[in-house]
Chains A and B, each alone.
Chain A
Amino acid sequence: MSSVDGLASIYPPARFLRDAAFQAAFESDGLTAFRAKPLAVVIPESSEDVIATVRWCHDHGVPFVARGSGTSLSGGSLPVADGIVIALNRLNQILELRAAERIAVVQPGVVNQHVSDAAAPHGLVYAPDPSSQSVCTIGGNVAFNSGGAHCLKYGMTSNHVLGCKSVLATGEVVTLGGPSAESVGPDFTGLFCGSEGLFGIALEITLRLLPKPEMFHTVLVGYQSLQAAGDAVSAVIDAGLLPGALEIMDALAIEAAEAAVACDYPEGAAAVLIVELEGPREKIDVEREQLEEVLKKTNPFAQRVARDEADRLFIWKGRKSAFSAVGRLSPDFLVQDGVVPRNRLGEALVRIEQLSQEADLRVANVFHAGDGNLHPLIMFDGKQAGALERAEALAARLLRLCIEMGGSITGEHGVGMEKRQFLPEMFDAPTIALMDRMRQAFDPKRVSNPGKMFPGKEADVLSSSGLHPLEKAGVISRE
């Protein structure tokens, strides 16, 4: 095709890939359920390369998808068939780290963990910590407004992004926000965060850094029922405490974690709760007493306080390994990330249990209890006829349950390809129409990551299911 030649002329051959092997490597993301073959994969090494590519795509009406590390769990970075994949991993420089101002300016391909690593010598940290943080990129985090285990206290990615220079789908280069924590005028930076790659590509992102908490106090509590664990979460909140993390795992998830990493969680627990306080030592001294008082009244049958940092990481290991551990119990699984109001958690879990029995599929529950963010893992065997369809039907029921309860279809994984048909169930027609007009404003030709977030048939895909290749290789695990 002569049209692709124009794009090819921007890149040396080694960074403009059209052969089948490379295309296969990029055909999927963390949601392995979907696959699509791109026309070409380009590997820019500078912002200018990205800008030239986007302009070329815009001029020729060829769709493109920005790609960080491809760990999206909702098919966000899935290529568009016959479109261009713009792989951003080589834009991996931390351009500036101004410790005194607590900001870092980074390129989009910088790995999340590397920001905190670079900030550590200054006693600072980049707070958002998705469990894929050792591989996922800041560009992907910004596009998906990614979360982690500390969102109740610290918020999501967008709460830590002060500005971003981007090339929009039209080829216009804009600087949104800036180095100050404050701003005037409408919050374009906030709008760009979570736009799932539909507005354009972030090129330079200004991040807010925070002082690393001086101390952690981590408690593992065992309960005889899920309900009791859920109630304990409310009790902690009602006591006026603001823990950095509040996480729950149910019996099936514990069983899986135990088998995988021997995490030594209380035997026979129907649920475990992990509560983590963090802050200056004097504050923790006071709050740990408060926490102890509160937990005493929640009927725990076992309780353990992390003795030291190694022990703390050991407690977290069970939690962090839960997803890949479930992958060992079942050949295939689907994970959802709906949100319910926190004080309806207990009710939601009972409903999930019922729906799981009705569907005759096991569901393990691991969740960010502090912010009501569920992660039900629906287990199935893809080799059985109709099993995937039943699992998907159950996943759909769970998402609708979250909507009915006044929550959200996604707390942190984004809508992407996977949940696009549910967006109109969460938002009414005028709201969807306005979102569509906003998209049109940024991308009149609909070339930037088409087929994602909004329902429709903008992009056709193939489907299958399973663990992310990096999880199978034991490189990362999910929360």
Chain B
Amino acid sequence: MNNRLLKPAHADDLITMMAAEKFVLPVGNRTKAPLSASADAALISLGAFRGIIEYEPSEFTFTARAGTPIADIQTALAEKGQYLPFDPMLVEAGATIGGTAAAGLSGPGRFRYGGIRDFLLGARFVSGDGQTICAGGKVVKNAAGFDLPKFLVGSMGRMGVLLELTFKVFPKPSALRTLRVQCDSHTQALARMAKAACSRWELDAIDYRPGERSMVLRLAGPARAIESIDHEIGTTWGEDVAELPLADTFWQSVNELNWSAPGAAAVKVPTTPPQCIALHQGLAGEEAIAMHGSVAGNVAWLLVASTDGLAAVDRQLQVMNIPGLVVRGTYDTPYLGVWQSPKIQQAVQAAMDPPAKFLSLYRHPRPPAQVN
């Protein structure tokens, strides 16, 4: 196994190192281990590519190097009363901004304004042939040229090595409040989620714990305003509504993917709200699996405490004909369920990476994806 970790100090270094390798895989802080592991690629660490390059609060934009820990960015933004509305995940675990974009992960708060794809404005990256590409822009609105930055979201280091990213940010809401709404069936929960999602309330997050049949709503805005909306939600669903104690801890456990079985494998499954419920029901017999539905049923997060459990998830996703991505834990492949692989995908990969330096998408070399 060739798991050498190369540590370029700057872009030229990185390009030289890339040229000398047969296969490369860029990695950040490896908080999404299954995506940063390969039997035959040299790992290129972006650890030295760290720091915010530009931050213009009145522009609502910043540019940071790919290896910058998100925690650093959050601190800088908070000082100016701003935040990342896509609600980054695994921040405590040490996620970097580049790794988060490449993995395409957004948290529950993406419900309100959109995911990481919606906030990425521009990117500097190295293509497979060692060219430095500067795509997108540094302004909040731009329609020139193909949207390569967006395409890199979710590309998992298989399309280019991100060096710098420019994001749009928003003013941070001054107050938050979290409510739990107890439901007596999934059907009722689906109806309530839909009502909440289409309401005038402008909720920040709508999540669902199917195991407990409880819907969790986060309100964000001026304190006076959320007070009144809270009251209206209380009137709407009566005794089923209660303020969630220790809300910060709750949301943190969702974003860090450790609300159950710490250290368990974690799987992301994009869903429609009915699919979210169907997935839960399809896995009902599995003891080792805990599910959290997020973004009003648009994503199911599964914490899976055993390899057998992952195999069960894989089977269930096959049945449902949808894909899932293992973002933490050990399994044969990070790609569960069914991934479409149209011809165009190979042509595009060849365009981004003429010498085929990167791993090919959705084909994962075995044995197991584990790096220490």
Interface residues of A (CB under 8 A from B): 99-102, 122-124, 144-147, 151-153, 155-156, 158-159, 168, 170, 172, 174-175, 178-188, 190-191, 193-195, 211, 213-214, 234, 237-238, 240-242, 279-280, 282-283, 285-287, 339-343, 368, 371-373, 406-415, 419, 423, 426-428, 430-431, 433-435, 437-442, 453
Contact = CB atoms under 8 A, between A and B. Distances in A.
B150 A187 contact: yes
Given A182-B115, A186-B361, A237-B58, A286 B225 contact: yes
5 contacts: A185-B155, A185-B325, A408-B143, A423-B145, A431-B133
B144 A410 contact: yes
A433 B58 CA distance: 34
A431 B144 CA distance: 12
B147 A193 contact: yes
Interface stretch (B3-11, B210-218, B345-353): B345-353
A341 B61 CA distance: 10
B352 A412 contact: no
A473 to B, nearest CB: 27
Interface stretch (B177-185, B280-288, B305-313, B336-344): B336-344
Nearest to B276: A180
Nearest to A407: B139
Contact of A185 (B58, B137, B170, B361): B361
Contacts of A408: 137, 139, 141-144
B194 A101 contact: yes
A192 to B, nearest CB: 9
A185 B337 CA distance: 13
Interface string B50-86: 0000001111100000000000000000000100000
B162 interface: no
A205 to B, nearest CB: 16
Interface string B178-206: 00000000000011001001111110000
B153 A427 contact: no
Contacts of B315: none
Given A341-B56, A408-B144, A184 B325 contact: yes
Given A180-B270, A180-B298, A186-B152, A147 B323 contact: no
B106 interface: yes
Given A152-B60, A172-B343, A342-B60, 12 more contacts: A123-B199, A124-B198, A174-B342, A188-B344, A190-B117, A282-B226, A283-B221, A339-B139, A371-B139, A410-B144, A427-B134, A427-B135
Interface in B147-165: 147-148, 150-156, 158-159
B47 interface: no
B93 interface: no
A182 B270 contact: yes
Given A99-B198, A343-B56, A427-B134, A190 B362 contact: no
A435 B148 contact: yes
Contacts of B118: 155, 159
B342 A183 contact: no
Given A185-B339, A441-B344, A283 B139 contact: no
B134 A428 contact: yes
Nearest to A413: B143
Nearest to A200: B344
Given A186-B154, A441-B348, A430 B59 contact: no
A145 to B, nearest CB: 5
A174 B115 contact: no
Contacts of A415: 143-145
A242 B145 CA distance: 28
A280 B200 contact: yes
A188 B148 CA distance: 10
Interface string B101-122: 0001010001001110110000
Give me the 3 closest cross-chain CB pairs, A-B, nearest first. A190-B150, A100-B194, A282-B225
Given A182-B115, A185-B323, A240 B171 contact: yes
Contact of B202 (A123, A183, A279, A440): A279
Contacts of A279: 202, 221
B362 A185 contact: yes
A434 B127 contact: yes
A178 B321 CA distance: 12
A102 B59 contact: no
Contact of A187 (B104, B268, B344): B104
B197 A102 contact: yes
Contacts of A441: 344, 347-348, 350-351
A183 B229 CA distance: 31
A341 B104 contact: no
B184 to A, nearest CB: 19
Nearest to A337: B143
A248 B199 CA distance: 31
B139 A430 contact: no
Nearest to B299: A182
A343 B138 CA distance: 13
Nearest to B346: A441
A172 B343 CA distance: 8
Given A191-B150, A434-B148, A441-B350, A342 B59 contact: yes
Contacts of A211: 197-200, 202
Contacts of A283: 202, 221-222, 225
B271 interface: yes
Nearest to A193: B147
Nearest to A279: B202
A123 B200 CA distance: 9
Contact of A100 (B115, B142, B273): B273
B143 A155 contact: no
B225 A339 contact: no
B318 to A, nearest CB: 15
Nearest to B224: A286
A453 B222 CA distance: 44
A407 B361 contact: no
Contacts of A147: 141, 143
A371 B141 contact: yes
B151 A190 contact: yes
A389 to B, nearest CB: 24
A283 B221 CA distance: 7
Most chain B Cβ neighbours within 10 Å, of A240, A287, A413, A453: A240
Contacts of A431: 133-135, 145
A442 B135 contact: no
B228 interface: yes
Most chain B Cβ neighbours within 10 Å, of A368, A406, A419: A406
Contacts of A194: 143, 146-147
B151 A187 contact: yes
A178 B106 CA distance: 17
A122 B200 CA distance: 12
Contacts of B191: 100
A343 B56 CA distance: 9
Given A100-B194, A156-B143, A415-B144, A180 B272 contact: yes
Contacts of B176: none
B150 A280 contact: no
B235 interface: no
B352 A434 contact: yes
Contacts of B227: 282
